[in-house]
A and B are shown apart, each in its own frame.
Chain A
């Protein structure tokens, strides 16, 4: 099964054109990646969290944080240890555990990670998958590639859903403690993901898919208002790239 992450709301970010949003997401990510100062990265990450709050509300924004919480913890715990040279910040006896440079590097990684996660979560939560495919096709991405991207993006929530099904199955069987190890659901998830490949491929072909361009039943219009949105979606990230 394929799943979308779209959440229906009537926010300004939902109303933003799919092409403008796609461009904004890509350019804003580049601006975050090339960011060199903490204030710069903090401002950008804060903007994305704010947009999430304004367009999806507090509950979904917290859910987005929850989904990446484990990785945030990993970054906080292990990233400072990767840069050992520089001015000592935390020492244990005479051994330097964390340096100022390591802490700065970790903070940058963390802000960039949060910012980029929110950019793409917001893209998928405020735009329907079919409109993203149309936006990609508008930018002349080949039909076959657009479909592949769409399939891949829907695979992630589908696997998350499968994981929740496995957890439910385990809960219903009363399996807990050591038996509730990660290995069973993990191996099942891998099998599910592998099984989805022939299933999806056969479904596509049985419906006539040949990667040849076919007309879409919904066309994306272009007018002055949408052009302005696209211009804004380019100008804002470019300002951040220049400011970095």
Chain B
């Protein structure tokens, strides 16, 4: 059994994230820990694997043991045989330029003999649907594929205790179910999440909420939400796609290097919510980049209120909230980010409060969920007629997702929402687009 006793953690110059945290993780009894962004889920994972104090200037007290063995006394590379984690921000986790090398590295560190290593590598790549990408450049993978790569790496480390940090986010429904079946095969498991997914029903032996530095029993909430209604007088603009084709080359790949996206028809109206779903790597983010003017179509037309609109102008009417919010953030503090678009400091203060942000926080130190809120706040100030929420619901709570959606709709924006969440999909009533292998329907 893994045992955590009286754990306390604080980063240099900051208040403690938690001060007396205790938890037992028993064999075959997966544990769920839910919390709002910034409560310390990722820090807890970093502390248990041994990197919080070694690389991120954190200090801690308390004990962490496995059947009486003091794990805090072990170095990080030794401790990884006992505990390892998947990483929430998959971009930060990638070490090597190719998929096979990324997964092979931890296998090499286990000093497996070459034939066993090759068969294990092939089996893990197959298990996570990455065989076809084995020679692909890791940077060319979609968000969900990067997530699967990160999970494949965790599988290659093969620890006793698996910590899945928001590992279900960005995965399609099919892969969420598959991951859950993989998780059920592990002896010791902690899943960290920002909201309770429908797929979790009946799976966890114990569930906790990390709140205010304490672990408290988590009661499964009765989640029922309805999509907010737009103001009727806001329905005045539209973006229309017709016969769009876009080709993109996977530069490093021998097989299947060319991805083709086709969007025969799509209409987004201001004041309305449209839903876009599809498997990982099907082209949802590529389509979003086209609509928001970050890419230019090879063929077809896009019209804004009936008038043909080019990529440059699309950037002024469409807000694209990236899947990875850190891609959008580049200024030192929350204040700097908001002031780069706000007309006055009063507006920046008001919006920061609306999105539960602290103006003096450093952007690079924000949790993934807080970074999503900041990204939403920036585009809220910009007040564009259209917005694309690329998996907004990952890393933040349902309540926050719906609150942000309401705020945008109140301003009359048309929102294209990309999601893998079954609750959101099943409760959605409106225009639902699906993407499959690059084809929009």
Residues of A within 8 A of B (CB): 1-4, 6-8, 128-130, 150-151, 154, 158, 161, 165-166, 168-175, 179, 184-185, 187-188, 191-192, 195, 198-210, 214-217, 219
Q: Given A168-B294, A214-B111, A217-B114, decide whether A208 and B157 contact each other with a Cβ distance below 8 A.
A: yes
Stretch of B21-29, B248-256, B261-269 with 4 or more beta carbons under 8 angstroms from chain A = B248-256
The 9 closest A-B pairs by CB, nearest first: A4-B97, A208-B109, A202-B51, A205-B76, A188-B330, A198-B55, A207-B106, A1-B91, A3-B139
Q: How many residues of B contact A (CB 8 A)?
A: 67
A37 to nearest B CB, angstroms?
37
Report the Cα distance A8→B257, complex, angstroms: 9
Instruction: Tell me whether A2 and B341 are in contact (CB under 8 A).
Output: no
The 6 sampled A-B contact pairs (Cβ below 8 Å) are: A150-B96, A154-B96, A184-B331, A199-B92, A206-B85, A215-B111
> Given A151-B95, A198-B55, A205-B51: A216 and B108 within 8 A (CB)?
yes
**A6-B251, A8-B253, A169-B327 known; A203-B137 Cβ under 8 A:** no
List 14 extra interface pairs beyond A6-B251, A207-B80, CB under 8 A: A3-B139, A128-B97, A128-B135, A130-B98, A169-B328, A202-B56, A202-B76, A203-B95, A205-B51, A205-B76, A208-B80, A208-B106, A210-B109, A215-B114
Q: Which residues of the partner chain B approach A202 to less than 8 Å between Cβ atoms?
A: 46, 51, 54-56, 76
Q: Which of A172, A184, A204, A216 has the most C-beta atoms of chain B within 10 angstroms of its own C-beta? A: A172
Contact with A along B110-141 (1 / 0, CB 8 A): 11011001100100000000000001011100
CB of B49 within 8 Å of the partner chain = yes
Expressed in whole angstroms, the minimum distance between the Cβ of A6 and any Cβ of chain B is: 5
Residues of B within 8 A of A150 (CB): 96
Nearest Cβ on chain A to B83's Cβ, whole angstroms: 9
Which residues of B have CB within 8 Å of A206? 49-51, 76-77, 80, 84-85, 157
Interface contact A217-B252, CB-CB below 8 Å: no
In the assembled complex, the Cα of A174 lies from the Cα of B419 at a distance in Å of: 27
A21 to B340, CA, bound (A): 47
| Cβ of B104 under 8 Å from chain A | yes
Are A203 and B121 in contact (CB-based, < 8 A)? Answer: no
Query: Which of B211-219, B312-320, B409-417 forms contacts with chain A?
Result: B312-320
Q: Is the CB of A173 within 8 A of B378?
A: yes
Given known contacts A7-B251, A219-B114, A128 and B98 CB-to-CB distance under 8 angstroms: yes
Let me know if A6 and B330 touch, CB within 8 A: no
Secondary structure at chain A's binding surface: helix, strand, loop or mixed? Answer: helix
- Which of chain A's residues have a CB closer than 8 A to the CB of B328? 169, 172
Separation of A192 and B93 alpha carbons in the complex (Å): 14
Question: Do B106 and A201 have beta carbons less than 8 Å apart?
Answer: no
Complex alpha-carbon distance, A151 and B95, angstroms: 7
Decide if B101 is an interface residue (CB 8 Å cutoff): yes
Given contacts A208-B77, A217-B107, contact A1 B330 (CB under 8 A): no
Q: Is the CB of A2 within 8 A of B340?
A: no
Expressed in whole angstroms, the Cα–Cα distance for A27 and B108 within the complex equals 31
Contact A209 B330 (CB under 8 A): no
In the assembled complex, how far is the CB of residue A150 from the closest CB belonging to chain B, in whole angstroms? 8
User: Is the CB–CB distance between A8 and B254 below 8 Å?
Assistant: yes
The residue in chain B whose Cβ has the minimal distance to the Cβ of A197 is B55
User: Known contacts A185-B330, A204-B95: does B106 contact A217 (CB below 8 Å)?
Assistant: no
Choose from B75, B108, B139 the contact partner of A217 (Cβ within 8 Å).
B108
A1 touching B139, Cβ below 8 Å: yes
CA distance A187 to B362 in the complex (A): 13
In the complex, which residues of chain A have a beta carbon less than 8 angstroms from the beta carbon of B92?
Answer: 1, 199, 203
Flag if A4 contacts B378 (CB, 8 Å).
no
Among A4, A179, A191, A214, the residue within 8 A (CB) of B137 is A4
Minimum CB–CB distance from B162 to chain A (whole Å) comes to: 13
Q: Does B94 contact A (CB under 8 A)?
A: yes
Query: Please, which residues of chain B bring their CB within 8 A of the CB of A130?
Result: 96-98, 100-101
Contact A4–B252 (Cβ < 8 Å): yes
B105 lies within 8 A of chain A by Cβ: yes
Interface residues of B in 134-165 (CB under 8 A from A): 135, 137-139, 153, 157
A185 to B331, CA, bound (A): 8
Q: Is B292 an interface residue (CB 8 A)?
A: yes
- Write out the residue numbers on chain B whose beta carbons fall within 8 Å of the beta carbon of A214: 108-109, 111
Docked pose: A219 CA to B56 CA in angstroms = 36
Residues A6 and B97 in contact, CB atoms below 8 Å apart: yes
Tell me, yes or no, whether B329 is within 8 Å of chain A by CB: yes
Residue of A nearest to B102 (CB): A2
Q: How far is the CB of B144 from chain A (nearest CB, A)?
A: 16
Give CA–CA (A194, B208) in the complex, Å: 35
CB-contact partner of B331 in A172, A188, A210, under 8 A: A188
- Write the nearest CB–CB distance from B66 to chain A, whole angstroms: 17
